[in-house]
Structure 1
């Protein structure tokens, strides 16, 4: 806003706890104070398994594609640790991009200090202390333990790892742009890391789902490309088939555990 840009603060209400509408009013008042526009969106989800992931997906669906987020370096470090525990690869270790997360160079303490200097009282989300959520345990237990064991602050180290992995991921993505994901022979002849990235980018472009398939699903698709199988289920109701040397990604009503059809 200091540069003349038009800024809109957006509050997304998942309807998970009482008083969430009051939280929207807090955001609205602060937006008015600093001269920003305000929008309140609703993306209701139900309590249950994978709540964090489902809430994140719901937010992405209602927010504009160019939305910016307020994650800090501490959030980046937590994200890397969570992805490590889930067996991510180099692309996952790239973490969040500064293009949509412009505060990644700041620490959480920096934002708290800035709020204090501006007389802003941050709203403390009570769910951030709920040990049922993996991120909270990483934040309150894992990171402090790593700091203690290493006798140093590991957050800058993890953020540096993210930057290095992002550079490598960008290079592989640039190489992948030149490849045809539907050419089964060409895809199966690529180095595994490059072939996997070609498949991920094909998935995002075709399905519109921003989160690519997991490593096991990528392996199944590459098995189809190499002729080890004729088709496979990928996930989210999508299927890959090979016909006359060409791969196609098709949506179906299928859901459940992925399977592979082998040649008889």
Structure 2
């Protein structure tokens, strides 16, 4: 183990940091990388990921995205970049514009990942999602009608700490003497994820008299793996017709989701059910809205035996 990460002296035998290093080492065994881009917010998860990656010999370029949604956000991003440089990484601050219409959380995520992809070019993008994020994602998506989770790798995005707990990343930062940024939005229950984190999971823990984060995270992983397997079977779905009406429901839903993604439509439990009815319960119903904007709705309609996507 190195004695220093950049200018930061490492303590002797820090157990939580060792745990995260092993997770990174395991990820690198499956997905080798000499250099990566880390999405660094300055919070404990991404800060611990940055340190663990550097300790395992990975060249890290930290991208600190300033969403410009809170006073002083530029200072927070700048401090995160400075900490990354102290650890021996290179770093940059990228200011993004977040669309004020619709879901602020979803719009910020889109803007953040667009910035990360632009900075990464052909390098992997590492983000600090943990098992806690996995469990929260399962509950949030289940409440909206779909069981879903995150994979360790989705395209260019890697999640080396997905099996680790949020408590472990906070403890690792404490071992290294790093002070993560505490985002005030992480305690604002106006955000559904915060409500799940602060109220729902503690209640489930009380009801079952044990920590439920691990089992929820494992269920989310299984859901994500099942979905990926079905996606691989379905592949690209530019066209769709009544020939798939007799297929198993799970396979047909994945075909519909792939069809909607191909044409830029929204995929959620409601749209999937209504588009599915165009195939399996056809009685002349009108088009199904699947997205668009105030100027024009994106709709799916049945024409003969086929589904077509258009605007109205």
| Smaller-chain TM-score bracket | 0.7 to 0.9
Structure 1 residue 54, shift from structure 2 partner: 2.6
Does the aligned pair in 1 maintain the 2:301–2:309 contact within 8 Å?
yes
Structure 1 residue 189, shift from structure 2 partner: 2.9
Match of 1:145 in 2: 203
Structure 1 residue 60, shift from structure 2 partner: 2.9
Structure 2's unaligned 5+ residue stretches are 1-53, 119-123
What are the Cα deviations for residues 61-95 of structure 1, in whole angstroms up to 9, with x where unaligned? 3331853211111121122122222222x3x2xx1
Match of 2:267 in 1: 213
Match of 1:36 in 2: 89
Match of 1:192 in 2: 249
Structure 1 residue 165, shift from structure 2 partner: 1.7
Match of 1:234 in 2: 290
**Aligned pairs (5 A) from 1:74-223:** 74-88=132-146, 90=147, 92=148, 95-99=149-153, 100-177=158-235, 182-207=239-264, 212-223=266-277
Residue of structure 2 aligned with 1:18, choices 71, 76, 85: 71
Match of 2:114 in 1: 61
Detail structure 1 runs of 4+ shifted over 4 Å in the superposition: 46-49
Give the 3-state SS of the residue equivalent to 1:71 in structure 2.
coil
Structure 1 residue 47, shift from structure 2 partner: 6.1
Report the count of equivalent residues: 244
Match of 1:259 in 2: none
Give the 3-state SS of the residue equivalent to 1:171 in structure 2.
helix
In structure 2, the CA distance between the partners of 1:245 and 1:12, relative to structure 1 (3 Å rule), is: same
Give the 3-state SS of the residue equivalent to 1:240 in structure 2.
strand
Give the 3-state SS of the residue equivalent to 1:103 in structure 2.
coil
Distance in 2, matches of 1:125 and 1:12, equals: 14
**Higher RCO, Cα 8 Å, sep 6+:** 2
Distance in 1, matches of 2:245 and 2:68, equals: 46
Distance in 2, matches of 1:181 and 1:224, equals: 16
How large is the RMSD of aligned CA atoms in angstroms? Answer: 2.6
Distance in 2, matches of 1:181 and 1:195, equals: 14
Distance in 2, matches of 1:202 and 1:183, equals: 7
Structure 1's unaligned 5+ residue stretches are 255-264
Does the aligned pair in 2 maintain the 1:172–1:197 contact within 8 Å?
yes
Match of 1:260 in 2: none
